[in-house]
Structure 1
Amino acid sequence: MWLPVLGLVFGIVIGFLLDWRVPQEYSSYLSIALLAGLDTIFGGIRSYLERTFNVRIFMSGFFFNTLFAAGLAFIGAFLGIDLYLAAIVAFGVRLFNNLAVIRRIILYKWISQKE
């Protein structure tokens, strides 16, 4: 439990200390890859709470979704079409769906503990 928290704190500290900027031409690729990664992370939290978590599925989904979303944005930019918008909508809907399920699971556990 403490290792992910330590990694998060370490990453935030390094992010604030380094003055690193993403070039403007790569910002759409990075944003869609970040959204895909967040979707996978919240999906992993959801599956953990539902007791169906599998680390192989999580890792393969994380890398596949992130690379696929960035590749979709690249192909769209190559063709002159904003394909990254489709990925933003798809991953955004999944992200909010996972957050809603996580909220329901936590509230159910909290309410059942009080009774």
Structure 2
Amino acid sequence: MIAFFGLFIGIIIGVLWNVPIPDQFSPYMSVAIFACLDSVFGAMRATLAKQFRSDVFISGFFGNAFLAVGLVYLGDKLGIPIYLAAVIVFGSRIFNNFAIIRRMLLDRPKSH
């Protein structure tokens, strides 16, 4: 529940507080956001499966973001748009986790 509250507050702050991001940092930000969203959806899935561990979430949240940004930086220096691959992989994982979360919620017994 705290994760949903934090996500909701973060979205509100992001919408209301217009922070301009220079164009050269857009690939870095997009990949970092996708990496963090991947961790959040993974945490929601683990919570529903009663397997959530905060140490795994925190290390994945920051580890994925830093690794993804590092790969984008390396690709930028090599002249290869690696960020596209990262966006595809993280996007795929987000949709996969969302599908699993949806199925878990739909398969719960209804109490009437």
Q: Fold conserved (TM > 0.5)?
A: yes
Note the residue ranges of structure 2 that are not aligned, 5 or more in a row. Answer: none
CA distance in 2, matches of 1:52, 1:74: 33
Q: Which residue of 2 aligns with 1:104?
A: 103
The TM-score with structure 1 as length reference comes to 0.87
Q: Is 1:113 aligned with 2:110?
A: yes
CA shift for structure 1 position 13: 4.2
Change (3 A) 1:89 1:16: closer
Shift of 1:10: 4.0
Q: Which has the larger radius of gyration?
A: 1
Letter in 1 for 2:74: I
Per the alignment, in what secondary structure is the counterpart of residue 53 of structure 1?
Answer: coil
Partner residue of 1:29? 28
1:18 Cα offset (Å): 2.9
Q: What is the TM-score when the length of structure 2 is the normalising length?
A: 0.89
Q: Give, in whole Å, the separation in 2 of the partners of 1:19 and 1:56.
A: 32
Offset at residue 65 of structure 1 (A): 0.3
Structure 1 position 51 matched with structure 2 position 36: no
Runs of 4+ in 1 over 2 A off after TM superposition: 1-4, 7-19
Q: How many percent of aligned residue pairs carry the same amino acid?
A: 44
Q: Note if 1:41 corresponds to 2:46.
A: no
| Structure 1 Cα separation of the partners of residues 4 and 22 of structure 2 | 29
